[in-house]
Amino acid sequence: MSYKKLLFITLIIVLVGSVFAFDLTQYLTLEQLKQQQQALNQLFAERPLFLFGLYFLIYVISAALSIPGATVLTIGAGAIFGLGWGLLLASFASSVGALLAFLSARWLLHDWVQKKFGNRLKAINAGIERDGAFYLLSLRLVPLFPFFVINLVMGLTKIKAWTYYWVSQVGMLLATAVYVNAGTQLAEITSLGDVLSFDLLSALVLLGLVPILAKFILSFLKRRRAYGSYTKPKSFDNNLVVIGAGSAGLVSAYIAAAVKAKVTLIEKHKMGGDCLNTGCVPSKALLHVAKSIRQTRDAERLGVKSTIETIDFAKIMDSVQDVIARIAPHDSVERYTELGVDVECGDATIVSPWEVQVQKGEEQKTITTRSIVIATGARPMVPDFPGLSEVDYLTSDNLWQLRELPRRLLVLGGGPIGCELAQAFQLLGSQVTVVEMGPRLLSNDDTDAAALVQKQLRDDGLELRLNHKAIEFTERDGERVLLAEHEDETVALPFDRVLIALGRQANLEGFGLQELGIEAGKTLKLNELLQTNFPNIYACGDVAGPYQFTHVASHQAWYAAVNALFDPYKNFRVDYSVIPWVTYTTPEVANVGLTEQTAAERGVDYEVTEYDISDLDRAIADQQAYGRIKVLTVPGKDKILGVNIVSAQAGELLAEYVLAMKQGIGLNKILGTIHSYPTMAEANKYVAGNWKRANAPEKLLGWVQKFHRWRRG
Ligand SMILES: Cc1cc2nc3c(=O)[nH]c(=O)nc-3n(C[C@H](O)[C@H](O)[C@H](O)COP(=O)(O)OP(=O)(O)OC[C@H]3O[C@@H](n4cnc5c(N)ncnc54)[C@H](O)[C@@H]3O)c2cc1C
């Protein structure tokens, strides 16, 4: 704790201690007030402003220090100043005092509490952010909840100070008025309990329920307004219609069919969506070829003389299509029909909350359905750079039609897709330049992981242009160039083909969302049940965000489908607590949970343990002795907060940690598990061993040493 905070706490302790040591609270009793009423009334008649100021100061200080006596002070306001002025003074003084107590608690303890319990408080923080004002209003309306406890506890949450102030002032007004009014007839009050009769208290408790009720009514009205003019069919053709047959849509439909619901899956383009046709599958097939080229080149070092004579790029790209064709049956119309899904190949449009229209050429039909799952995915984001439309640019959508290897390929964007494809094309024979606006590649990954990848890319011969902001595509001296801004200068970067890899944009337009009023930002706005603002319309996958991976799409699909079919009888909140992701460059970068950056941003305390994979027997034998595992744990405990691996097969190594984090298994248990020799997975055991050594119980070991000495005699 900082010196300033220590000084502040000492001051508060001294002040509160003095109040009790000198028994100052005796002046904040009903008896004292009654005894002094005449004198106070006289003082008010003689020096009203002085008494206003003094009263305000005493109230603010006692509320800020959480000294008992607020009730007597409020009654006193009525007794001395009358109802009007008394209410004004007591209302502002109590609210300002409450704010000071709130701010003190926030300054002293908020960061510490959030740092220590941040992860567990996530749900509470989200709730407070969303509905904090409603909860606070309820608490303030009912004078049963201790004033000072609310001040101190709310200071530890993330509610805004201004919201706290005005809600407190409004919420406390009624009870303050009751007490101030009672004070105007002080003589009739024999105890504080007299002020609030059972009936009055019950009325205030009921009033306290109003904000919560209001919240429910508001959300009910919002839903009704959303459904507005639409007429709900009396019966439905389907339980569920799923729009889009990518990873998210396929899993949603599969789950619905598995639980015997009547489900239609509508796809307008290719079954399997992005992952199968233009994403994970072709990119990994191409990376495999690139890796084979690397291995062949490296073989000479091992005494195997081989040369690569030609690289038949067109054939390689055909082989990628072969891979797609081999996997396609898993996602085919035939397979899903067999599973019990009605598959429609056509364009879907949501025409009402319960109706989806399918357009197949000239043919059109409308399906009525109780629920809808939107799984329309995303597409490459292509900003409107001047000159871009004239350069016949590539994206991950059309790249797979390429049959001529670009001599100079410029990859715009240093995210996972950009890095994977850039490295692959360099190994296939292009001269690749990666242009990235930020100071490093892979901005979502650990900084040192990105540095290791950058080093390998440079070793592979790629040119990395970091801190280069693309401005315009044009021609200079008969060749295509990208003009980029770098350190206040314009740099011209020549290329033959350009691949735009600047992220992916959710598919939200053209199928009825705007007409219906389904709320969206960059992705659809969803609650934790994956519901849109129409509670029977759900979404999952890239169109839903916040993560755009195939495995997250399938994970969400389970929640979307189950909730769509069983809500309100049973529903599940989507769980994003353990999300892994892998970038398949060489070396691979695999993550789960917090990185050092995200832990620091969220103020989470962590301990770092690393293991250097260049020491691992299997990695050495495989000529892949590079990389490291980094594990973040709760300080002094083996609970895993996050793992970042940079190595060959990092994605495979990660699986053990994903399981451990999901099932609450710590590093001690990983250390106590047999890992086959020699495997890459042994690295997981060794990093757990490093953690154990760093956390060895030194005192206990001292005693054990003495025990052994004693046994030796
Ligand atoms: C090059 C590349 C590499 C990738 N590599 C990986 C990886 O290694 N690992 C990973 O986890 N993720 C990877 N991804 C991301 C992954 O592909 C996506 O996260 C995943 O495919 C999303 O699935 P989805 O079902 O949400 O969307 P999609 O797969 O895009 O499916 C949406 C479907 O909806 C259809 N559709 C849209 N509108 C309508 C309509 N109105 N009517 C009917 N049908 C409609 C579309 O035609 C499409 O088939 C990669 C992506 C790219 C581009």
- Give per-residue burial for 564-594: e unless 16+ CB within 10 Å, then b: bbebeeeeeebeeebbbbbbbbbbbbbbbbb
Atom of ligand 1 nearest to the CA of 244: 34
pLDDT reported for residue 691: 98
Name 700's Cβ contacts closer than 8 Å, sequence gap at least 6. Answer: none
Cβ of 585 closer than 6 Å to ligand 1, yes or no, is: no
pLDDT, one tens digit per residue, over 213-255 is 777 777 777 777 788 889 999 999 999 999 999 999 999 999 9
Atom of ligand 1 nearest to the CA of 544: 26
71 confidence band (pLDDT: 50, 70, 90): confident
Residue type, 316: I
- Give the distance (Å) from ligand 1 centre to CA of residue 277: 9
Opening angle at CA 40, ends 38 and 44, nearest 5: 115
Of 44-58, 112-126, 318-332, 432-446, least confident by mean pLDDT is 112-126
pLDDT reported for residue 125: 74
- On whether the CB atoms of residues 342 and 265 are closer than 8 A, the answer is yes
- On whether the CB atoms of residues 533 and 405 are closer than 8 A, the answer is no
380 pLDDT more than 70? yes
Opening angle at CA 497, ends 494 and 502, nearest 5: 95
1 confidence band (pLDDT: 50, 70, 90): low
Residue type, 556: Q
Cβ of 266 closer than 6 Å to ligand 1, yes or no, is: yes
pLDDT reported for residue 204: 64
- Give the distance (Å) from ligand 1 centre to CA of residue 657: 26
Atom of ligand 1 nearest to the CA of 397: 53
The residue whose CA has the least distance to atom 47 of ligand 1 is: 269
The residue whose CA has the least distance to atom 2 of ligand 1 is: 279
131 pLDDT more than 90? no
- Give the distance (Å) from ligand 1 centre to CA of residue 344: 18
The average pLDDT across 699-707 equals 94
CB atoms within 10 A of CB 23: 8
208 pLDDT more than 80? no
333 confidence band (pLDDT: 50, 70, 90): very high
pLDDT reported for residue 130: 73
- Give the distance (Å) from ligand 1 centre to CA of residue 540: 11
693 confidence band (pLDDT: 50, 70, 90): very high
Q: Write down how long the chain is.
A: 713
12 pLDDT more than 70? yes
The residue whose CA has the least distance to atom 33 of ligand 1 is: 244
- Tell me how far apart the alpha carbons of residues 702 and 445 are, in angstroms, rounded to a whole number: 41
157 pLDDT more than 70? yes
pLDDT, one tens digit per residue, over 483-506 is 999 999 999 999 999 999 999 999
Provide the terminal-to-terminal Cα distance of the chain, rounded to the nearest Å.
49
Cβ of 79 closer than 6 Å to ligand 1, yes or no, is: no
CB atoms within 10 A of CB 612: 17
- Give the distance (Å) from ligand 1 centre to CA of residue 247: 7
518 confidence band (pLDDT: 50, 70, 90): very high
21 pLDDT more than 90? no
Pocket-testing residue among 241, 251, 274, ligand 1, by greatest number of atoms within 8 A of Cβ:
274
Most confident of 121-125, 182-186, 193-197, 199-203: 182-186
- On whether the CB atoms of residues 681 and 656 are closer than 8 A, the answer is yes
388 pLDDT more than 90? yes
- Give the distance (Å) from ligand 1 centre to CA of residue 272: 8
Cβ of 441 closer than 6 Å to ligand 1, yes or no, is: no
Of 36-40, 123-127, 260-264, 332-336, least confident by mean pLDDT is 123-127
pLDDT reported for residue 178: 84
Pocket-testing residue among 275, 360, 401, ligand 1, by greatest number of atoms within 8 A of Cβ:
275
The residue whose CA has the least distance to atom 12 of ligand 1 is: 549
The mean pLDDT of the chain is 92
Cβ of 348 closer than 6 Å to ligand 1, yes or no, is: yes
In the chain, % of residues over pLDDT 90: 71
158 pLDDT more than 90? no
The average pLDDT across 271-287 equals 98
Atom of ligand 1 nearest to the CA of 273: 49
Atom of ligand 1 nearest to the CA of 399: 1
In the chain, % of residues over pLDDT 70: 95
The residue whose CA has the least distance to atom 23 of ligand 1 is: 247
What phi and psi, each to the nearest 5 degrees, are found at residue 40? -70, -40
pLDDT reported for residue 617: 98
Helix (H) or strand (E) holding 306: none
Three-state SS at 239:
strand
CB atoms within 10 A of CB 190: 9
Cβ of 293 closer than 6 Å to ligand 1, yes or no, is: no
Atom of ligand 1 nearest to the CA of 348: 42
- Give the distance (Å) from ligand 1 centre to CA of residue 374: 12
Nearest to 497 by CA among 409, 430, 414, 420: 409
pLDDT, one tens digit per residue, over 191-203 is 766 666 666 666 6
Of 37-46, 210-219, 340-349, 403-412, least confident by mean pLDDT is 210-219
pLDDT reported for residue 119: 64
Nearest to 387 by CA among 505, 460, 480, 450: 480
- On whether the CB atoms of residues 530 and 560 are closer than 8 A, the answer is yes
The average pLDDT across 586-614 equals 94
118 confidence band (pLDDT: 50, 70, 90): low
Cβ of 415 closer than 6 Å to ligand 1, yes or no, is: no
Nearest to 196 by CA among 144, 140, 139: 144
Of 103-117, 150-164, 609-623, least confident by mean pLDDT is 103-117
- Give the distance (Å) from ligand 1 centre to CA of residue 135: 40
- Tell me how far apart the alpha carbons of residues 428 and 317 are, in angstroms, rounded to a whole number: 11
pLDDT reported for residue 602: 84
111 pLDDT more than 80? no
Cβ of 511 closer than 6 Å to ligand 1, yes or no, is: yes
The average pLDDT across 607-621 equals 97
Cβ of 651 closer than 6 Å to ligand 1, yes or no, is: no
- On whether the CB atoms of residues 278 and 396 are closer than 8 A, the answer is yes
207 pLDDT more than 70? no
The average pLDDT across 144-153 equals 81
651 pLDDT more than 90? yes
